[in-house]
Amino acid sequence: MTQTVFEPWNDPNEKPLIQFRGVTKRFGDFTAIDNQTFDIFEREFFALLGPSGCGKTTMMRMLAGFETPTEGTILLAGQDIAPIPPNKRAVNMMFQSYALFPHLSVWDNIAFGLKRDGMARDAIGDRVAEMLKLTRLEKFARRKPHQISGGQRQRVALARSLAKAPKLLLLDEPLGALDAKLRQDTQFELMDIQEKTGTTFVIVTHDQEEAMTVASRVAVMDHGQIIQADTPARIYETPNSVYVADFIGDVTIIEGTATRDGAGYRIDFAEGQPALYAETDIALTDGQRAYLAIRPEKVSITAEKPEDKRNALRGKILDIAYLGNLSTYHVELPKGQIVRAQTANTRRLSRRSFTWEDEVWLSWTDTAAVLLER
């Protein structure tokens, strides 16, 4: 049985739904978006991820039509959308505050956009019923927004923006107002609905876990630029910069000078310390500054020096963060750098092998660490 993998961005014949072509947006002296070019494909679940003020919301508001690019063009299905006002675009938005109309019932909120299209009464009824069913809100149709819970409000906002069957749905921090437990359930619900309706979703979030969970591709942004746009796995495993590596998940960064050695580079990072080794595809000149990014879960911690690994460092346990299923050890090297190592707590706490102040060996394989230029 062959299963086609959903990777339209790797298929040269696929036509993108949205194309940013050299888009720049300035507010006075401030550049919110800096000359960006990228594509989003049909049926994608595309996440714009970054800290506040990185430009992700501006990106979304340009798609919705509330902002126009200062330079460059945005194409939707091959057509420039700059001259189309927000109320005429086949794009709908789910607002961060939900923006539910407080004077209208749940039913009327969902029907609002349909009525604007002049849809027939019966058709509106059917469509609203369908949306209520999709979001499991049938029982709350007659309630006003202030009479339902936060999670239900979130689903009304989703139903309202999906009712017009937009080509593209924009979600601005859709789960930001929900508590942690509800957020997890809702993430899966969102993915489910996206799959059922086949709509292209663009989500804006500052929560990396959320982006990793729901998205087919994640674009990590900083200062108005997309630093890296790729699948969650590739963003995590092969970040293209220290910024991305540091933003997504936990990482130890070791700075040093690179020297070519076989299939990779040798990194000298401190006097009196053994050099580290990492295989990589990138090309560096000898003596160049480089950064080694190592995920804690890829670092083993042992009492004896492992004989089979080239990367092995000795250090002292400074701190142990007990997370229940995992423990993270903060190990201090002789020159003061801290390297984090994570182990699964497969045994009872009382039988833990290491404790504070213990001298231990840290080691990882040649392919475990990622070598970065910046």
Which of residues 104 and 312 has its CB atom nearest to another protein in the complex?
104
As measured in angstroms, the least distance from the Cβ of 92 to another protein is 6
Q: Do the Cβ atoms of 369 and 276 come closer than 8 Å?
A: yes
As measured in angstroms, the least distance from the Cβ of 156 to another protein is 12
21-50 positions binding another protein, by CB under 8 A: 27
Member of 56, 155, 164, 183 binding another protein (CB under 8 A)? 164
Cα angle, residue 119 at apex, residues 144 and 62 outer, rounded to 5°: 75
Cα 26 to the center of its chain, rounded Å: 25
Q: Is 177 one of the binding residues for another protein (CB under 8 A)?
A: no
Which of residues 103 and 351 has its CB atom nearest to another protein in the complex?
103
Using DSSP, state whether 363 is helix, strand or coil: strand
Member of 102, 198, 262, 336 binding another protein (CB under 8 A)? 102
As measured in angstroms, the least distance from the Cβ of 88 to another protein is 8
Member of 15, 116, 121, 260 binding another protein (CB under 8 A)? 116
Rounded Cα distance between 42 and 25, Å, is 25
Q: Is 88 one of the binding residues for another protein (CB under 8 A)?
A: yes
Count CA atoms closer than 13 A to 117's CA, side-chain side. 18
Member of 17, 32, 33, 64 binding another protein (CB under 8 A)? 64
Closest residue by Cα to residue 313 from 289, 283, 340, 293 = 340
Candidate segments 7-15, 29-37, 60-68, 223-231, binder of another protein by CB under 8 A: 60-68
As measured in angstroms, the least distance from the Cβ of 108 to another protein is 10
Candidate segments 58-66, 71-79, 196-204, 347-355, binder of another protein by CB under 8 A: 58-66
Candidate segments 92-100, 132-140, 176-184, 315-323, binder of another protein by CB under 8 A: 92-100
Q: Do the Cβ atoms of 158 and 135 come closer than 8 Å?
A: yes
311-340 positions binding another protein, by CB under 8 A: none
Member of 101, 188, 322, 356 binding another protein (CB under 8 A)? 101
Closest residue by Cα to residue 147 from 94, 96, 104 = 104
Q: Is 121 one of the binding residues for another protein (CB under 8 A)?
A: no
Give me the long-range contacts of 145-151 (CB less than 8 A, separation at least 24).
145/98, 145/100, 145/101, 145/102, 145/104, 145/106, 145/109, 146/102, 148/106, 150/177, 150/178, 150/182, 151/178, 151/182, 151/186
Which of residues 177 and 333 has its CB atom nearest to another protein in the complex?
177
Residue 57 CB contacts under 8 Å (≥ 6 apart), including other chains: 172, 204
Alpha helices in the chain (DSSP H): 56-64, 106-116, 121-134, 150-162, 180-197, 208-214, 232-237, 242-247
Q: Is 74 one of the binding residues for another protein (CB under 8 A)?
A: no
String marking each residue 249-278 x if it binds another protein according to CB under 8 A:
------------------------------
Task: Give the interface with another protein as residue ranges (CB under 8 A).
Answer: 27, 64-66, 85-89, 91-93, 95-97, 99, 101-103, 112-113, 116-117, 146, 160-161, 164
